[in-house]
Structure 1
Amino acid sequence: MVRGTRTARSASEVTLGRDILDAAPRSSAVDLLRAIPGLVASQHSGEGKAHQLFLRGFDALHGQDVELDVAGLPVNEVSHIHALGYADLNFVIPEVVQSIEVTEGSYRASQGDFAVAGSVRMDLGVKEQGVHFAGTLGQYRQRRLVATVRPGDDPGTFAAVELGEGKGYGTQRGYGRASLLAQATARLADGLTVRALGGSYVTRFDSPGVVREDDLLTGTSDFFSASTPRQGGTVSRHQLLLGVDLPRAGKGRTKLELFGIISDLRLRNNFTGYRVDDRGDGLEQTNDATVLGARAEHRRSVTAFGRPVTLELGLGARRDGVEQSQRRYRESDGTFFSDEIDARFTQTNVWGWAEGRMALGRWALRLGGRADALGVEVFDALAFRDPRFYDGQGYSRSAFGVHLGAKAGVEYALSDGADAWRLFASYGDGFRSPQARSLSEGERAPFVSVHGAEVGARKDGERWAAQLSVFGSQVENDFFFDHTVGTTVYTGETLRSGVTASLQARPLPGIVAALSGTVAHAYVTATDTLLPYFAPLVARADIGWERPVEWLGGEGTLFSIGTGLTFLGPRPLPFDERSQAVFLADAEMGLRRGELGLRLEVRNLLDSRWRDGEFVYSSRFNPSAPASLVPARHFTAGSPRMASLTLEVHL
């Protein structure tokens, strides 16, 4: 099998090994996500904010439609003040990601909340034993230091620290961050394995906001201008996971995990300038969360109807305690003038799932199901403040709901052998949990239900793996974030469909290539109009080459070169407009001899003037200009060509 590839249960499941992740420049965890077939990650609000994700025709905002997991630690935050399912991966040090497992679609029973377009899990480990230092200097005062320690043979036992800062490539783009991740794995007697993972992360960052297209054309703003000066924020996250893997002779394996996460965010954004209020439309949002959770998973083989069945079972619970606020501030001095949200809530999710796979010669049948129960308690201190009706002391309410989902699949091998072509048909129900503050007293918590299906084929071999699938998803009552009003807007039923293909190849020693392309279509059924902002065409190529070269310094000298190419087709925007197409090329070149290495990385090699995000809505960034509700084009500038040089020391 291709290295790092798990046994797939649908056509579009994929595992990206470390060799693919190393093929192109990757200085952040989100850079790693860009290697996933069809996934787009947009960074439109500074270095420290969660990225906007697009996958399979979904505009997943900051995580509402993509379930993210880092070695067992959940990343998505429920009922977040800024975006449902907010998923900030900036705490992950990319050098310690050993592989990425991707399940596009919602076809596995283990997939939980926000697994609508798909699920992504990062497994952690350090490739080389010993101590490794990497110091990076780049344009725009980019500085980064990474140190990793792997004391023994097990790549899963390590400690890593990252320090980084930069001025950014334009106004309001500075940042500073620090991250620590450490994991210990011990294999004890009788196959018992215990694991502990912990980490801390903190950042402070600025945000440039958006540029109006008409201001760029008239020369009022340049391409890298900032809309208002006070945007940005701070984030911290602290986490701990304890796990044990229990083998039982002849009875499979049981995995138990406990985890806790403490996170906080303070974010200032102003998308519309002075359109709503002459004092400014800026919002400061805070979100302080404490997460406690536990899960148990059991895998074993049994016999049913005289046939072998692989059985997987899971139970889990998660409690989120959250305090959040939203206030308007004056652009002139940053002081608050209006409180809009001051709430706290607890949200508890309890789940159970089961999945079985029966082999019938070349055929295999898979059937599973999942049940999630959600309980919410909300206290909103600012609700119903009109003294004619309430005394201004706030409003408490509670809600409860259950979501049931089915999972099923069938596969057929065209020939015998592990490297045979296999055909798949898959079905799965996914869901999003609701925004807690939107619920009323006694309401049945309304999960957003998603029904997905896929047919396709795949081949996993020693030197290459190929996949092709056709997919479709139906969302019963969909919504998207509207910058005009700063909230979610419900659209009713939506449909998405498309085709995706990918190829991983290792044709010769030292050469690796990962190629993928996805075409998607997404529209509202009631009006037959395209959904805004989704990515209809995504193509990606990561190609790397590493080989020893004696003439560059003698035996033991390694030379490497790699490139990452991305093409994004024009995206639909509101009012029947389209964004510009994007083509980006990144490149890197490295040389290592013994303990020392040197690596040159260049992002946006062709220095394209590209728009990372494009939006259409009304705004007024000049307070002296007449008020207007006429929609205008806005964009966030993508990075120009950026070069950096990294010195590595391996001890």
Structure 2
Amino acid sequence: MRASNQLTVAAVMLGSAWALSQPVNAQGVRSVDDTPTQDMAASPDTENKPIENKPIIVFGRAIEQIGIATSGSQGTVGYADFDNIPISRTGELVENVPGVIATQHSGSGKANQYFLRGFNLDHGTDFAGFVDGVPINMRSHGHGQGYLDFNFVIPETLERIDYRKGPYFADVGDFSAAGTVQFVTRDEIDPFAQIEVGAFSYLRGVAAGSTQLGNSTLLIAAEAQSYDGPWVLDENLERFAGLVKYSHLLNNGSLDIQLNGYDSRWTATDQIPLRAVENGTIGRFGFIDDDLGGSTTRIGGVANATVGNTKFNAFATYYDFELISNFTYFLGDPVNGDEFIQRDRRTIYGGTASHGFNLGSVGFTIGGDWRYDAIDRVGLYNSVDGVSINTVRQDEVEEFGFGLYGQAEMQLAPRLRAIASLRYDRIGYDVASDLTVNSGAGHDDLFGPKLALAWQPIDDLELYANYGRSFHSNDVRGASISVDSASGNATDPVRVISPADGAEVGARFERGRLTAALVGYYLELGSELVFVGDAGNTEPNDGSRRYGVEATLFWRPTDWLTIDADYAFTDARFVNVGADNHIPGAVPEVFSGGITLNPTPALSLTAKLRHFGSAPLIEDNNVRSDPTTLLNLGGYYDFGRLRIGAELFNLLDAKDSDITYFYESQLAGEAASSEDRHFHPVEPRQLRVNIRYRY
């Protein structure tokens, strides 16, 4: 399995994570030579019993969800849904979620830029991400609030991807207004080794396997990757990732413990000003500042346990990050330039617990989660040639948060279910700043009610209505601030918690090999987090509202043909700001679709289309980005233990952009600054070939 800057793994099977304990429809399962996914095929009464060693792969999108799911916009993607699919970067695995776009503008080692439901989520604001129960979004991060970096994940180790949209689910709090995605790794992998080579010095190797140790399983996986990219300035990406996971079956549950590690270093070609390309100063893949790039190191320990109806999770993560950027060149400092360094070093501890039980005909779940971020350095520094020349601001931060929730599910009538829940969150902080007046401590909290109704008027159709309140947290340095560190001007603090209220109606249709869903939604945010080009950060802005529709389709008319598609439209506006109320970067339309052919059991052919539409770049909507459309192809053939694959990215060699901004900048030698489009181009057409050997 590879990863891809230009992939849409479109149209996902719609359903909930809870469906994983249900029997799997035969239409959603195919036998293969590798990769058992036992959890996804287990029924409740066999979940804790030994499972036959018959390798299967589940098309998660084909699992029946009517009578189980609680909204029309949640679902599960199984390994079969994204194994034989052309993808080139790990972070774009989130494009398995219908309506999500993941782009890149500052090097392959940096977290992706995400777009969902009319949000330019920057690197994760309002989009909560988890891997095996561990929250990945970074609070009070050196680059941007909610920074969400999935690059440490090894794609081949994933069993499934669960997704839920909207603030309707009680077991998740911070960053969940637009949606939540959960990556779940496997317990078992048939041993294999794989090598990939491609254009622009792309080289990737991955090996993984597991072995039985009585009632336990030990899984080990490792990955190494290098890449220069099409850029005039070589990216020089060096990426290493590893996973060791120990899983043990208990009499009435399971236990798994894992250690994961990741290190990445790269040189970045950031977005570039359009005027420099048009006047011939640089080409489309050229650069302005050759010092840009970054590094990330991450080491994590995770434990998950299930005992009967009780679940536990605990984790500890060490994280070290540095990023060198320059968005405005010589606008602020005509002598030294505007280059700056962002740093973040922290250790995170946390965990979750939940317990389910019945009182009469009502099912209850109670649970909670906690998280402590010990940030010993988070800072912003002016730099020249990649070397810091002074400190703009540096802080030590302690941030502690916890959430408690209770949920009740009841059958109001034979075909009518109701789910009601209440969640309470509290975040406390203590900021020690290098500028004493910006130090301080405090807290904020929020109650979030949730309500869902699910009605099944006929066997093949279920209708949903949802309401919920959730939130995103703001950088706590903004809650303790008194003086702007860069300008020295007095500034007002912001609230730590910004609430989000949403409502949704939806329908899900399942008949035979066809699943489809249609939803309409509305969402209000108390404060929008907006990317600021000259600061390289996200800052709180005015409140906003969004409404839109989403449609998804997954159809297997025959065993050898799979068709999937999804479409999303969103109208996004600031509120109470007058006529200039467009939200910069809010993509209004997203479409993705694919066709997979299996003319023989050994051969798989796939075509994937991804399109995201023109978006406003400034509040008055007078400047807009151009739409982007990409087509990728993949072909894979099994020769027994050997599999050979070929992937062609950007088949039509589109000259579109991965991302576009509009802001003021000044180049060296320019007499005055200019407001201009700044864009990062999609990568040109390129071929990659991979060979996998199964032992």
Give TM-score scaled by structure 2 length: 0.85
Distance 1:433 1:489, change over 3 A: closer
Give per-residue Cα distances to partners, 1:65-103, cap 9 Å, x unaligned: 100001112110111011101011000011111111110
Partner in structure 2 of residue 193 of structure 1: 254
CA distance in 1, matches of 2:77, 2:563: 11
Q: Measure the CA separation in 1 of the matches of 2:189 and 2:401.
A: 39
In the alignment, is residue 321 of structure 1 matched against residue 374 of structure 2? yes
> Are residues 414 and 428 of structure 1, via their aligned partners in 2, closer, same or farther at CA, if it must alter by over 3 Å?
same
SS of equivalent to 2:603: strand
Deviation of 1:441 (Å):
8.7
Instruction: Give the whole-Å Cα distance in 2 for the aligned partners of 1:127 and 1:602.
Output: 30
1:255 paired with 2:308, answer no
Aligned amino acid, residue 174 of structure 1? N
* RMSD of equivalent CA atoms: 2.0
Find the counterpart in structure 2 of residue 435 from structure 1: 475
CA contact (8 A) 2:660 2:678 kept: yes
* Matched-pair contact (CA < 8 Å) for 1:125–1:155: no
Q: Secondary structure at the match of 1:34?
A: helix
CA apart distance, 1:564: 1.3
Structure 2 residue 631 is matched with structure 1 residue 585: yes
d(CA) in 2 for partners of 1:205, 1:383? 35
Partner of 2:99: 38
Distance 1:336 1:597 in 2: 48
With over 3 angstroms needed to count, the CA separation of the structure-2 counterparts of 1:444 and 1:53, relative to structure 1, is closer
Q: Does the 8 Å CA contact 2:90/2:153 hold for their aligned counterparts?
A: yes
What residue identity is the alignment partner of 1:149? G
Q: What secondary structure sits across from 1:408 in the alignment? A: strand
**Cα shift readout 1:171-205 (whole Å, capped 9, x = no counterpart):** 3322010000122221122x231111220000101
Q: CA deviation at 1:438?
A: 1.2
- Alpha-carbon offset, residue 64 of structure 1: 1.0
Deviation at 1:503, TM superposition (A): 1.1
CA distance in 1, matches of 2:633, 2:223: 23
After TM superposition, list the pairs within 5 Å mapping 1:126-145 onto structure 2: 128-129=189-190, 131-145=191-205
The one of 283, 292, 309 equivalent to 2:349 is: 292
Checking the alignment, whether the CA contact within 8 Å between 2:91 and 2:111 is kept in structure 1 is no
1:48-197 residue pairs with structure 2 within 5 A? Answer: 48-125=109-186, 128-129=189-190, 131-152=191-212, 158-172=219-233, 173-189=235-251, 191-197=252-258
Taking a change above 3 Å as real, the CA distance of residues 209 and 27 of structure 1, as seen in their structure-2 partners, is: closer
1:640 corresponds to: 684
**Structure 2: unaligned runs, 5 residues or longer:** 1-24, 29-58, 483-492
> Aligned partners of 1:461 and 1:318: how far apart in 2?
43
Give the residue type in structure 2 aligned to 1:273.
Answer: Y
May I ask how many residue pairs the two structures share in their alignment? Answer: 615
1:475 aligns with 525
| Structure 1 stretch displaced more, 268-277 or 501-510 | 501-510
2:507 to 457, 461, 466: 457
- Mapping for residues 221-620 of structure 1, pairs under 5 Å: 221-247=282-308, 253-278=309-334, 279-303=336-360, 308-322=361-375, 323-330=377-384, 333-360=385-412, 361-384=414-437, 396-416=439-459, 420-440=460-480, 445-526=495-576, 527-528=578-579, 529-548=581-600, 558-574=602-618, 576-620=622-666
Rounded to whole Å, the distance in 1 between the matches of 2:258 and 2:100 is 27
Q: Where does residue 552 of structure 1 map in the other structure? A: none
Could you tell me whether the CA contact under 8 Å between 1:568 and 1:583 is conserved in 2? yes
Structure 1 residue 506: Cα displacement = 2.3
- Residues 649/441 of structure 1: CA separation in 2 closer, same or farther (3 Å cut): closer
Partner SS, residue 684 of structure 2: coil
| CA offsets 1:290-349 (integer angstroms, 9 cap, x no match) | 00112101123332xxxx22222211211001121211012xx44332211110111000
| Matching residue's letter, 1:286 | R
- Residue deviations 1:98-117, cap 9 Å, x none? 11111011111112110010
Distance 2:363 2:225 in 1: 46
Query: Partner residue of 1:554?
Result: none
Aligned-partner SS, 2:477: helix
- The 3 A distance-change label for structure 1 pair 29 and 302 is farther
Q: Is the 8 A contact 1:340 1:382 kept in 2?
A: no
1:292 aligned partner, one-letter code: Y
Query: CA 1:244/1:461 → structure 2, altered by over 3 Å: closer, same or farther?
Result: farther
Q: Deviations over 1:207-240 (max 9, x none)?
A: 1112211221111111101121000011010001
Would you say the 8 A contact 2:89–2:108 is kept in 1? Answer: no
Change (3 A) 1:397 1:128: closer
Indicate whether 1:650 and 2:690 are aligned: no
Which letter maps to 2:675?
A: P
Partner-residue secondary structure (3-state), 1:197: strand
Q: Distance in 1 between matches of 2:132 and 2:288?
A: 38
Distance 2:312 2:675 in 1: 52
Paired residues of 1:283 and 1:329 also in contact (CA < 8 A): yes
- In terms of mean alpha carbon deviation, does 87-96 or 23-32 score higher? 23-32
What does the per-residue CA deviation read over 1:374-422, in whole Å, with 9 as the maximum and x for residues that have no partner?
11011001345xxxxxxxxxx5310111111010011110124xxx210
Cα-to-partner distance string for 1:410-440 (whole Å, 9 max, x where unaligned): 1110124xxx210101011110112111123
SS of 2:275's partner is helix
Could you tell me how far apart the structure 2 residues matched to 1:426 and 1:363 are? 14
- Separation of aligned partners in 2, 1:175 and 1:239: 22
Aligned to 1:553: none
Question: Cα gap change, 1:457/1:156 in structure 2, threshold over 3 Å: closer, same or farther?
Answer: farther
SS at match of 1:275: coil
Match of 1:477, SS?
A: coil
Could you tell me whether the CA contact under 8 Å between 2:314 and 2:351 is conserved in 1? yes
Instruction: Check whether the contact 1:24–1:586 (CA below 8 A) recurs between aligned residues.
Output: no
Extract unaligned runs of 5+ from structure 1.
Answer: 248-252, 385-394, 550-557
> C-alpha separation between the residues in 2 aligned to 1:266 and 1:440?
24
TM-score by length of 1: 0.91
Letter of the structure 2 residue corresponding to residue 338 of structure 1: N
> Secondary structure at the residue paired with 1:608?
coil
**8 A contact 1:23–1:545 mirrored in 2:** no
Q: Which amino acid aligns with 2:629?
A: F
Aligned partner of residue 527 in structure 2, secondary structure: strand
Aligned partner letter, 1:51:
N
Deviation of the 1:128 alpha carbon: 5.0
Structure 1 outlier segments of 4+, above 6 Å: 153-156, 441-444
CA shift, 1:151, in A, is: 2.2
